[in-house]
């Protein structure tokens, strides 16, 4: 492994550490039993209220005259700033709770001259350390720990690209030359997380979001399950799959593109409310809102129809927003420069009305692909080339994508979808060409998709066969076991799927899905 100049310097330092008989990578921290989080250490320092001056600094035990406990405790974490000034040394130590300053002083009774020199010469920014000490405030008012003993916990060889920070008069923090190259940040996410605290915050919010959804589902009587990721047949969505192979069985397998067909089998097995949160894989384009693997929640609820699901969805998304957004925001957040109001009732509109509103075209007046396609070209909404070969449903879906989706900033449900792009959804009783389906949009992005599920095995089989005739490479495969399951009797039910990553983007105001996935897909590597 090739080392750069500063890495070679660190390697030399590592040899010195070893020569001193110090283990630069000890197996454990020494004082974990006395550990206090940095934020608590800082609080204790603040409550001492004593700005130690040079006189009483020689007797740290007497530095505080308050009742606040000043007995020694330990803080462990990472050195993110170090500054030795002559015979005193300052270092900021960061742990998961925040940071606190370590203060070492040559001449303190509690810290030997040798240990001071070693601290000064061996410890660098990036190293993991622990120290025992007593809390106090420096002259500048900085909550600090006057250290009496310390250990190196892990030596950093490669320097962290830590940015310098300057406190502005208004209290905000200005950062200089922060580690910002997206390529490096995503490839070396560990570095990104180590030096950019706001990146850690994204994933804390994401975890809260998932927990909020899980709590909501559990409290509404849903059973969480896990179904196969490796599937002999893929289905439940229109997407190309990743293919793999089981060697011993000599069997091709697919990574799932959805959980739908397995979860609905469970309804046949008398599990009435079921959900899964997990990973889907789609072998398609990568964009700011598409990653080849992404996290989805799907649920299915017996006896519900699409409108009951819509109502439940609204409450679920609001529960997720509540779990992430600070209470002071009242459910208002920003996304791509737009304000989103999560707590107001979600808008509801038919697909026909939405497209009518944005294109002046009422597609219900054109009953087949030929007449609708001709009208679309006539009104100059799409080129003849793009219209060619599309079914009526795909034309409508294209109009939605081109003219409506970007405008749906506030939470909005669009419903009444064409049947031919919805092979697993139940038709409306009075309009067989339309299905009981909705999609939810927020921030101009499609977020979720739901419908009254088709539970008629004969209708379902015919839909699969119709898909095959279309010759589309994203067509649903005929899953005979799924049809068999349905023949045993599937209760009427409503189903739902939602991209968790996109919801995380919306709630953290991130422009790209890569910001909310810890290790997003990148080429070569």
Q: Are 224 and 242 in contact (CB under 8 A)?
A: no
Q: Where is 187: in which H helix or E strand?
A: helix 182-187
Q: Is 241 in the site for RNA (CB under 7 A)?
A: no
- Candidate list 28, 139, 378, 469; residue touching RNA; CB under 7 A: 139
Is residue 514 exposed (0-12), middle (13-18) or buried (19+ Cβ within 10 Å)? buried
Angle between helix 197-219 and 500-508 (nearest 10): 130
Report how far residue 181's alpha carbon sits from residue 183's, in angstroms, rounded to the nearest whole number. 6
Q: Is 375 in the site for RNA (CB under 7 A)?
A: no
Closer residue to RNA (CB): 142 or 272 = 142
Q: Which residues pair with 128 in a beta bridge?
A: 78, 154
Two structure tokens written together for 160: 């962290």
Q: Are 249 and 242 in contact (CB under 8 A)?
A: no
Report how far residue 458's alpha carbon sits from residue 435's, in angstroms, rounded to the nearest whole number. 17
Q: Is 279 in the site for RNA (CB under 7 A)?
A: no
Tokens 């009483």 sit on residue: 56
- For the window 485-514, what string marks contact with RNA as x by the rule CB under 7 A? --------------------------xx-x
**Number of residues counted as binding RNA (CB under 7 A):** 73
Q: Is 87 in the site for RNA (CB under 7 A)?
A: yes
Residues 446-475 that bind RNA (CB under 7 A): 446, 449, 474
Q: Which stretch binds RNA (CB under 7 A): 98-106, 217-225, 337-345, 478-486?
A: 98-106
Q: Which stretch binds RNA (CB under 7 A): 223-231, 358-366, 368-376, 420-428?
A: 420-428
Closer residue to RNA (CB): 138 or 410 = 138
Closest alpha carbon to 295 in 210, 413, 203, 198: 210
Closer residue to RNA (CB): 270 or 287 = 287
Q: Are 281 and 257 in contact (CB under 8 A)?
A: yes
- Candidate list 98, 159, 278, 492; residue touching RNA; CB under 7 A: 159
- Candidate list 21, 27, 86, 171; residue touching RNA; CB under 7 A: 86
Tokens 């720990």 sit on residue: 145
Measuring CA to CA, how many Å separate 514 from each of 48, 100, 286, 289?
44, 31, 10, 8
- Candidate list 64, 422, 452, 493; residue touching RNA; CB under 7 A: 422
Minimum distance from residue 86 beta carbon to RNA (Å)? 2
Closer residue to RNA (CB): 157 or 213 = 157
Closest alpha carbon to 506 in 385, 336, 256, 312: 336
Closest alpha carbon to 61 in 153, 133, 157, 143: 133
Residue 138: φ, ψ to 5°: -75, 175
Q: Is 197 in the site for RNA (CB under 7 A)?
A: no
Residues 13-42 that bind RNA (CB under 7 A): 13
Q: Which stretch binds RNA (CB under 7 A): 39-47, 181-189, 342-350, 359-367?
A: 181-189
Report how far residue 437's alpha carbon sits from residue 416's, in angstroms, rounded to the nearest whole number. 6
Minimum distance from residue 506 beta carbon to RNA (Å)? 16
Minimum distance from residue 206 beta carbon to RNA (Å)? 18
Dihedral in degrees, nearest 10, Cα atoms 103, 104, 110, 111: 150
Q: Which stretch binds RNA (CB under 7 A): 67-75, 172-180, 347-355, 361-369?
A: 172-180
Q: How many CB atoms lie within 10 A of CB 465?
A: 11
Closer residue to RNA (CB): 223 or 377 = 377
Minimum distance from residue 121 beta carbon to RNA (Å)? 7
Closer residue to RNA (CB): 107 or 197 = 107
Q: Where is 67: in which H helix or E strand?
A: none
Q: How many CB atoms lie within 10 A of CB 437?
A: 27
Closer residue to RNA (CB): 130 or 280 = 280
- Candidate list 50, 64, 144, 148; residue touching RNA; CB under 7 A: 144
Q: Is 94 in the site for RNA (CB under 7 A)?
A: no
Q: Is 88 in the site for RNA (CB under 7 A)?
A: yes
Closer residue to RNA (CB): 385 or 430 = 385
Q: Is 176 in the site for RNA (CB under 7 A)?
A: yes
Residues 48-77 that bind RNA (CB under 7 A): 52-54, 57
């Amino acid at each position: 492994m090739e080392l750069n100049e500063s890495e070679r310097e660190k390697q030399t330092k590592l040899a010195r550490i070893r020569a001193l008989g110090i283990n630069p990578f000890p197996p454990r921290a020494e004082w974990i039993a006395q550990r206090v989080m940095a934020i608590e250490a800082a609080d204790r320092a603040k409550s001492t209220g004593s700005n130690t001056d040079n006189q009483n600094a020689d007797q740290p035990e007497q530095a505080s005259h308050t009742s606040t406990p000043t007995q020694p405790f330990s803080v462990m974490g990472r050195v993110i700033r170090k500054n030795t000034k002559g015979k005193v040394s300052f270092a900021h130590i960061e742990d998961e709770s925040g940071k606190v300053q370590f203060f070492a002083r040559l001449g303190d009774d509690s810290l030997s001259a040798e240990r001071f020199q070693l601290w000064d010469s061996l410890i660098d920014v990036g190293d993991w350390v622990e120290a025992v000490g007593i809390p106090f405030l420096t002259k500048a008012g900085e909550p600090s720990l006057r250290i009496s003993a310390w250990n190196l916990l892990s030596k950093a060889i490669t320097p962290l690209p830590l940015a310098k920070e300057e406190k502005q008069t208004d209290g905000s923090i200005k950062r200089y030359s922060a580690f910002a190259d997206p390529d490096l940040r995503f490839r070396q996410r560990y570095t990104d997380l180590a030096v950019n605290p706001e990146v850690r915050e994204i994933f804390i919010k994401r975890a809260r979001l998932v927990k909020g959804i899980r709590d909501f589902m559990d409290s509404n009587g849903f059973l969480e399950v896990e179904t196969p990721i490796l599937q002999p047949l893929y289905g439940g969505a229109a997407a190309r799959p990743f293919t793999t192979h089981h060697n011993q069985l000599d069997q091709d397998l697919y990574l799932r593109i959805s959980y739908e067909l397995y979860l609905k089998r469970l309804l046949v097995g008398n599990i009435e409310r079921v959900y899964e949160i997990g990973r889907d894989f789609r072998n398609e384009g990568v964009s700011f809102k598409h990653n080849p693997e992404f996290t989805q929640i799907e649920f299915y609820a017996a006896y519900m129809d699409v409108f009951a699901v819509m109502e439940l969805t609204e409450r679920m998304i609001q529960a997720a927003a509540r779990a992430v957004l600070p209470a002071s925001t009242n459910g208002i957040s920003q996304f791509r420069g737009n304000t989103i109001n999560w707590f107001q009732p979600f808008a509801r509109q038919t697909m026909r009305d939405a497209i009518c509103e944005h294109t002046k075209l009422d597609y219900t007046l054109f009953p087949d692909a030929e007449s609708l396609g001709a009208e679309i070209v006539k009104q100059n909404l799409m080129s003849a080339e793009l219209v060619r070969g599309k079914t009526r449903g795909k034309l409508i879906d294209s109009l939605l994508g081109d003219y409506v989706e970007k405008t749906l900033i506030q939470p909005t449900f669009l419903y009444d979808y064409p049947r031919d792009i919805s092979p697993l959804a139940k038709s409306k009783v009075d309009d067989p060409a339309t299905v009981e389906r909705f999609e939810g949009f927020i921030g101009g992005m499609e977020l979720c998709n739901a419908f009254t599920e088709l539970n008629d095995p004969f209708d379902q089989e015919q839909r699969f066969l119709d898909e095959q005739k279309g010759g589309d490479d994203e067509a649903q495969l005929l899953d005979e076991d799924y049809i068999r399951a349905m023949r045993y009797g599937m209760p009427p039910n409503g189903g739902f799927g939602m991209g968790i990553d996109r919801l995380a983007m919306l709630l953290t105001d991130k422009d790209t899905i890569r910001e909310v996935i810890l290790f997003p897909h990148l080429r070569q590597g």
